[in-house]
Structures are given as C-alpha cells and as structure tokens.
Structure 1
C-alpha cells in the first residue's frame, strides 16, 4: 500500500510539472488518451496482482537469506550498495532480454506502444510482464541471500526512478546527471519508433551499464511509440500481449524441433 501511495504522489507532482513545462509538445487530446489507457492498465494490474498475491513471492527471500552469495558479508552500507548495483545490472540484463526474445517482447511491447511518453507510461505494462519481472527480482534476492527488508527499500528507489525517467520534462544539468543515472532525456530515446534507437539506453537506475555494454546513445528520438500499434485500448493491449507471446513460444518450439532434427541428421551422417 505504501508503494501505491508513493506512486500516486509522484504522479500528481510530475503530471503538474508536465503540464507547466512539457518537453514534447503533444496535443492535449493525445496526452489525455494516453493517461486514460495507462491508468486503466495500472488499475487492472493492481487488482490482478492483489488477487494473485504476487508480492507473496518475496516471502521466499527470508527462507534463503542466510545462504546466498552476499550472506557472508556484514550488513551495512557497503553490502547494501553492492547489492543495489548488482540488482540494477540484473534488471538491465532482463530489460535487454525483453527486446531480444520474441516471447518477452510480446509483453514488453505494450509498454512501448504509448505514442507520447509521459509519467503515466511508467505503469503501462502487461500483467504477465509484471509477474515475470517480480519473479526475476525475487530470484535475485534469493541468490544474493538478502533479507526481505531490503526489498521494500530497493523497490521504493526503483519505482521512483522508473516514474521520473518517463516524465515529459527536462531540468537543469540533466545531461550531467545522465552520466551516472538514467534521466528522462535518455529513456525518452528508448521509446523511439526507430529500432536502432529503441534498442538503446536499457538502464533502470544507472546509465553506466549502457556505456559499458555499448548500448548508450544520446540523440533525439525519431518519433515515439510503435508504428504497428495505433491508439489501442487497454483491453486490446492485454490481448495483444498474450497473442504475441504465444507466437513467441511457437517460434521457440519450432526452432527447437529444427535444431533437434538437424542434430539427428548430423549424428546419423557421421555414423
């Protein structure tokens, strides 16, 4: 509940900032349509996740808190900072995977379908996409051997960054701050219609992962959104995620069968 309250407070502040000093001058009707669709998705996901009790996955963290890779380190700022940096690297890797694998992209493209990036875009996600990322975070905490109290702190920081980086605003020294952290200017490019720009700037909190792994780009986006998705309703977005994800699973099994067949032919030929 506290996380929902934090999210709503940031929404109010940043929506007001977007209205008074927007970076992209989108037509009011277009922005309003984006707000409506995104808030409907947000409410649907909140209800769905509450029904599924997905946050209960984090209860597993306490069971394994003494057995992970960092369990031998003394609790303190060094351990917490190291864990947070490693978690951000994990989410950077997951985010790249969502763009590489068709199954994951089937869900993640819902987030990219918004034709005008604004603060509400930060909650425009497919329900199953959210469930998967929660599972990734839970697995990270288990592997690292961290206690569940850190989940609350890390999730608060991550949520604040995700909301802020989608805001349609600019502010002083943004480019300088962007050398360390993901700022709206960098993440806005990630929502470009151009594939060469969309597959850049995957960072969640820190921008140096993109620099290290050569996915950093500082440029002006060539349009926003996806050219093949125009003005969908939130129901259409949910259906689209399932359909495309199913296609992705089908491609995976077809590729597996072809690989298995080719391997059999190779072994038979050599025998």
Structure 2
C-alpha cells in the first residue's frame, strides 16, 4: 500500500484545463528535447504519468513511452488522447510497480516524487527506477527546492501564486518534511472559491543523491531548468539526472 493520496475523478477531469499553460507546445519544448535526447533510440518510462501532459507529446516526438499511474481516473483521461498500443499504462504505485522490459530513460516531472509521503517509499522509487533501467540508462527528476529561506521565525506558510483566479500557498511541517499545498480557485462564474489541498514530502538535492546511491545510481548532472541553466543556491528547482553504470567487461 502506498502513502500517496489518490487523485479523484473530479480532479482528473479538470486537471488538463487547470494545467493548460504548462501543457502548451512552447512551454513543453525544452523538457521534451531534454528527455528525448536522453532516451536516444531507447524506450522511456514515466512514473506517475497522469493525463499524459508530457508522455503523450514525447511519444508523438518518436520516443516509445510507457507509463505507471496510481490514479485510474487520471489514466482514463490519458486514454482519451492515445490508445494503449501506442502508449501502454500500468495502474500502480511508482515505488513498487514493475512493467516488462528495460528502458534507457525513467523520468518523474513536476515534483511528483513528493507524492510519496515517506522517505522509505522515495528510496524504493529510486530502486524501482534502477530496476527498469538498462545499463547506462538515466533516471530524471524535476523537483522544486523547498523555499524554507522564505520562512521567518514562527511562520509556517509560503505563498507560491497570488493571481486573479488562484491563491496558492504551502504550509510546512519542518520535523516530518511534509508540506501541504493549499489552493483557492475562483469559480468560472466569478463567484466563490473552490478549496483544495494536497500533502507532499519534500526532499533536498543531497538527500536525493543518497537515495540514488542506495539504488546503485550515480549523479551525472544537475541543472536549474530544462534549458540547462546552471543550478545555484538561488535556483527555485532542479532537473537531476542519475545514471545506471554500464556493465563492465
């Protein structure tokens, strides 16, 4: 049993509309180019593929893609876009679910590893990635850097979006490394707000590197975004690439 919160049908049905800006061709191009380059002539496996925001256009780019997704409603939305033969999806959690074959690329985007709410499960996610990778293959994660520097003493909340239609802020449990994302979204009629929240376990880059080592993976590079900008102490997120060592003869 996974600790991840299960995304509902209502969430799945509105997900693409709410993420339309992040689903545009212009927005996705740097990520797709980055992932396609790492996949090369091999296959790619997306953990927590969701509605296929990244997986479907990556497949359309010519990369054979498979997915693992915990939420059946999210996978059902993906299935409206592409059939099973072109992009197979297995229902299950990304820490333990195994699919056939091996891959040159396994990837997790948009902070999704934080859906696993315990360190043990995040470690198992790395081990599961390594299990699916061919020698020389890569595991890629896109993850925000916890914005704890913005927390004055005694404060537990940090806003991440203040716009006309949406108010978003994170609250932090600094002992358990749990953040809760709170969303207040204005209704389409302009009256009232819908309130949603989700729990996540945040992790630091160095902690992820140790998880990778436990899984037998080696850090290859870390950049600040899909365009390859250098990762610095001021970066809001990172794209990290770990490599499974090639077989030695």
- Normalising by structure 2, report the TM-score: 0.28
**Bigger Rg over Cα:** 1
TM-score by structure 1 length? 0.26
Relative to its length, the structure with more strand (as a share) is 2
Q: 1 or 2, which has the higher helix percentage? A: 1
